[in-house]
Structure formats: C-alpha cells, structure tokens
Amino acid sequence: MSSKNFEKDYEKLKAIVKEMEKEDVSLDQSLKNFEQATKLYKDCRDYLVSTKKKIKILNDGIEDIFEKDSLED
C-alpha cells in the first residue's frame, strides 16, 4: 500500500465511522459498513506497522553510524 492509498483508505474509514454513528442507518447497511470498516482498518494498520518497522530499521542504522563516528574520535 502506498501512502496515498493509506490516506484514501483512512478517509474512507472515517466517513464510514461517521455514517455508522447515525441512528437512522438500517441494520443491513450497518453490517455492510462494519465489514468495510474492518477491512479498511486492517489495511491501514498493516501499512502503519510496516512503516514503523522501516523507520526503526532506518533509525537503528543511523544510530550505528553515529556510534562508529563517536568511537573513532
């Protein structure tokens, strides 16, 4: 998933949640919304977990570089 897809999916998820909070939505429509929201939530969460892992790898690499530099001084 790209960051653009994440942003689109997140906006869709927020819109679905807003619609689900309305009292005049049928049970059938609420179930459809819930199913779609669950999928969007999972997709967004997976993207965020993946991104967090990438950031950690990059940060660990930067820390290693700074540690090596400080040891050489």
Residue with tokens 């949640």, as numbered in its chain: 17
Could you tell me if residue 33 is inside a domain?
A: no
**Is 73's pLDDT higher than 80?**
no
**Is 69's pLDDT higher than 70?**
no
* Structural domain that includes position 42: 3-28+38-72
Q: For 13-54, how does the pLDDT look when each residue is reduced to its tens digit (9 = 90+)?
A: 999 999 999 889 899 999 999 999 999 999 999 999 999 999
- State the Cα–Cα distance between residues 32 and 37, nearest whole angstrom: 9
Total domain count, the chain:
1
* pLDDT for the residue 72: 64
CA atoms within 13 Å, Cβ hemisphere of 30: 8
